[in-house]
Amino acid sequence: MNIKNLFNEKEVVFSFEIFPPKQESKIDIIYNTLEELKDLKPDFISVTYGAGGSLSKNMTCEISSVVKKKYGIEALAHLTCINSTKTQVDYILNNLKESGIENILALRGDIPSNYDGISEFNYASDLISHIKKRNDFNIVGACYPEGHLNTVDLDTEFKILKKKQDSGATHLISQLFFDNEYFYNFLDKTNEYNIDIPIQAGIMPVINTKQIKRIVSLCGAKLPKKFIKIMNKYEYNPEALRDAGIAYAIEQIIDLISSGVDGVHLYTMNNAYVAKRISTNIFSILDTINNCEKVIN
């Protein structure tokens, strides 16, 4: 199924992101996680590509295929292009097609330390145009409500997003953020640049302090005062910190849903327990909203 259709059918599209284990021998770990996630019936599950190290790249196609065929949940396979040749990219695209995958999140990927500046693909929009030519896949792109770490200026960033849309992306998924105001300001700006494809908000529940430090160093997301206070208060109480992290994510999502966002993409970090607690809360709220709308109509 082409996941772009979900945005016409659903009030709010709710999806999960998982990542392959670093070693192929540990693939069972992700299948155990999926066993638990499947009952939550997300609208789709995305599978990262090489985010935890290049060894895991081979598993993206296999896991996406299991998500779709075994669990009957639509899959979105991530694919990065920097430092890859067209032949390498086509090989992966052929594998994805043969495995029945219909949706790809087309990314540049982070610049590797050994990168010599010469690549057949320099930016995500190059990959989007390349995939579009084949006419085989629905294409999704990434966006950054607080700006990408390499951003020169925000005007350029929005022009680049418009280019992703014009090259064939049918929806965007955002980088994680902890302050919804950044996302709302970002949405206002996308209107100014005529970006009108659906945009899903990326939310990551933070459940331990090590994770927070890593995330901030990797993507530069700013931490609001309220968030820092909570994290400091429960620094030495892991259970309380986990519960506070879950509560914070739920509060963020409720606010986003109330503000009419197109969708929410939950970075599950392969933690089925956390995903379950958040989803159960969100689904009951979504049910209430849907019932209220039925009564009003």
What one-character DSSP code corresponds to residue 82? T
Part in contact with ligand FAD (CB under 6 A); list of ranges 34-42, 153-161, 185-193, 224-232: 153-161
Q: How far is the CB of 74 from ligand FAD (least distance, A)?
A: 16
Q: What is the DSSP string of 199-231?
A: EEEEE----SHHHHHHHHHHH-PPPPHHHHHHH
> Is 50 or 205 the residue whose CB approaches ligand FAD more closely?
50
195 contacts ligand FAD (rule: CB under 6 A)? no
- The whole-angstrom separation of Cα 105 and Cα 79 is 6
Number of neighbours of residue 257 by Cβ within 10 angstroms: 19
Which residue among 49, 177, 183, 248 contacts ligand FAD (CB under 6 A)? 49
Scanning residues 162 to 181, which ones bind ligand FAD (CB under 6 A)? 173, 175
- The whole-angstrom separation of Cα 262 and Cα 14 is 9
Of the candidates 150, 220, 149, the one whose C-alpha atom is nearest the C-alpha of residue 179 is 220
Number of neighbours of residue 32 by Cβ within 10 angstroms: 12
Which residue among 50, 145, 168, 198 contacts ligand FAD (CB under 6 A)? 50
CA 104 to chain centre: 12
> Is 64 or 279 the residue whose CB approaches ligand FAD more closely?
64
Part in contact with ligand FAD (CB under 6 A); list of ranges 4-12, 21-29, 45-53, 281-289: 45-53
Secondary structure of residue 43 in the 3-state scheme: coil
- The kind and range of the H/E element at 13 are strand 13-18
Which residue among 124, 244, 272, 282 contacts ligand FAD (CB under 6 A)? 124
> Binders of ligand FAD: how many residues, by CB under 6 A?
24
- The whole-angstrom separation of Cα 151 and Cα 161 is 12
Indicate which residue of 11, 17, 62, 120 is catalytic: 17
290 contacts ligand FAD (rule: CB under 6 A)? no
17 noted as active-site residue: yes
| Residue 52, Ramachandran bin (φ over 0: left; ψ between -120 and 50: alpha; else beta) | alpha
157 contacts ligand FAD (rule: CB under 6 A)? yes
Active site residues: 17
Binding site for ligand FAD (CB under 6 A): 48-51, 78, 80, 105, 107-110, 123-125, 142, 148, 150-151, 156-157, 160, 173, 175, 202
